[in-house]
Structure 1
Amino acid sequence: MERFRDRQDAGDRLAEAVAALAPQDPVVLALPRGGVPVAAPVAARLGAPLDIVSVRKIGAPGNPEYAVGALVDGDPPEPVWNEEVLAGLGLSRDDLQETVARESRVLAERRDLYLKGRAPVPLEGRDAVVVDDGIATGATLRAALKGLAARRPARVLLAVPVGPPGVEEDFAGLADAVVCLVTPRPFHAVGQGYIAFGQTSDAEVVACLDRNAEGQDGA
């Protein structure tokens, strides 16, 4: 099975596949932390701004691990609700206002840490290229894609180095195009696709985003 040396190698190879789709006026959006070093070469290849799209779980009252929705980074953050779960628990969206406000603060803190207060890059009318280091269950990515739709991108392109077989079909309704370079059989975990797959540090995320911002300023 083909394996990537590390996230940098995966990003380099992913960049060529994404460039072949000829995205128009693209913005590259990475899921932190592991998606950022993969997305950085993609953004460099496209000459595009690199931003993040963080996702926070909206937990049920009294049971924070039980997700009734997700909050997706943006200006403002966009909630994505699981209406069936809400109805099953007898909850309304208004019942979760306090949780949404708390998770919004967490997203703002993460953005301040990684992007030093830089506002989200506008997506309206532009192609959004969403990048992660791989897909396992896909729950976080699904929430991210649903949340980004409210920002009215022209197209949404999902690009990952590794995922389970059938990932293109699984995400067809959420993305206009899906690029997944390696689909191991049997699929157990994203790390199958990598030789080196250590944790990505906050410092590495900041460095990738800073380099991109400096390149955009100098363009």
Structure 2
Amino acid sequence: MFFDNRRHAGQELAVRLLEWAGDRDLTGTLVLALPRGGVPVAAEVAGALHIPLDVLVARKIGVPGNPDLGIGAIVGDDPPVFDRLALQAMHLSEDKLGPEIARERLELHRRERLYRKGRPAPRVAGRSVLLVDDGLATGVTARAALRHLRRQDPARLVLAVPVGAPDTVDAMRTEADDVICLHQPRNLASVGRWYADFEQVSDGEVTAALHGVRPAT
């Protein structure tokens, strides 16, 4: 299964989530997107299910000198969540990653201010929450996000993605009440491989998508 772009992936994911919802009462349900890539996907889901959308900003912590190789993630002011096996394999420690963590924390708060424009984060306690991203590779960012949300006592916590590595999808089942993944290729290689168009999403596209759906409260 290939997706034309993130909007197409969101439309396909929305079909599956409509089946998942069935006769459930979705009153109070919230869609949270992991920006930036998860926002166009989540906007399609929120629109199809007629439920509000907001963002949960998370930042990947990369290996020094190779920032694209994520070995940890942060959400809000929570402590970092790390892939411990990867840390050991690369002979790294949290102390050595201090500068990367500080830099990503600054960028995280910048994006929160930009995307929310002064709005407070939506209430999670007692609500069903659909956390949406454009795919799952290592899963470290999704894990950090799910743990952040779990601490806020949602009624139900669901992770929904168009594509993901099978082992990662299975691992996320210990973090979420439900995991919905349309496509689980044995050799994922990278999330972008499964999209014809996987161009980086801009801050402007994120804010435009958020303005195009019902805002969360």
TM-score (norm 2): 0.79
Is the contact made by 1:165 and 1:185 (CA closer than 8 Å) also made in structure 2?
yes
Tell whether 2:180 aligns with 1:179.
Answer: yes
Query: How far apart are residue 57 of structure 1 and its match?
Result: 5.4
* Secondary structure of the corresponding residue to residue 185 of structure 1: coil
Secondary structure, in 3 states, of the residue corresponding to 1:21?
helix
Unaligned segments of structure 2, at least 5 residues: none
1:110: Cα distance to partner? 0.8
Q: What CA distance in whole angstroms lies between the structure 2 residues aligned with 1:6 and 1:58?
A: 26
Look up the match of 1:31. Answer: 34
8 Å contact 2:73–2:140 — kept in the other structure?
no
Distance change in 2, residues 1:68/1:201 (3 Å): closer
Is the Cα contact below 8 Å between 2:159 and 2:180 reproduced in 1? yes
Map of 2:171 onto structure 1:
170
Match of 1:146 in 2: 147
Q: 2:115 corresponds to which residue?
A: 114
Residue 20 of structure 1: aligned partner: 19
Q: Report the 3-state secondary structure (helix = DSSP H, G, I; strand = E; otherwise coil) of the residue aligned with 1:32.
A: coil
Distance 1:30 1:105, change over 3 A: same
Pairing 1:91-102 to 2, within 5 Å after superposition? none
- Which of 32, 38, 47 matches 1:44? 47
SS in 1 for 2:153: coil
1:92-128 Cα shifts (integer Å, max 9, x gaps):
xxxx8x9988765543321121221211110111111
Q: 2:138, 2:168 within 8 Å by CA — same for their partners in 1?
A: no
Kindly indicate whether the alpha-carbon contact (under 8 Å) linking 2:11 and 2:44 is maintained by their aligned counterparts in 1. yes
SS at match of 2:201: coil
Aligned pairs, number: 204
The alignment's TM-score, normalised by the length of structure 1, stands at: 0.78
Partner residue of 2:2? Answer: 3
Q: Deviations over 1:34-71 (max 9, x none)?
A: 11000001111222221111123579xx99x7999643
Q: Helix, strand or coil for the counterpart of 2:212?
A: helix
Q: CA deviation at 1:15?
A: 0.9
Once the two structures are TM-superposed, the CA of residue 190 in structure 1 deviates from its matched residue by 0.6
Q: Do 1:26 and 1:46's aligned partners in 2 also have CA atoms closer than 8 Å?
A: no
Aligned to 2:207: 206
The Cα shift of 1:196 comes to 1.3
SS where residue 170 of structure 1 aligns?
helix
CA shift for structure 1 position 20: 2.2
Deviation at 1:148, TM superposition (A): 1.2
Runs of 4 or more above 6 Å deviation: 65-69, 98-102
Give the aligned residue type for 1:205: V
Q: Is the 8 A contact 1:10 1:38 kept in 2?
A: yes
Quote the offset at 1:163 in angstroms. 0.9
CA contact (8 A) 2:75 2:145 kept: yes
SS of equivalent to 2:113: helix
Matches of 2:60 and 2:198, distance apart in 1? 25
CA offsets, 1:153-178, max 9 Å, x none? Answer: 11111000011124432211001111
Corresponding letter in the other structure for 1:128: V
Aligned to 2:78: 78
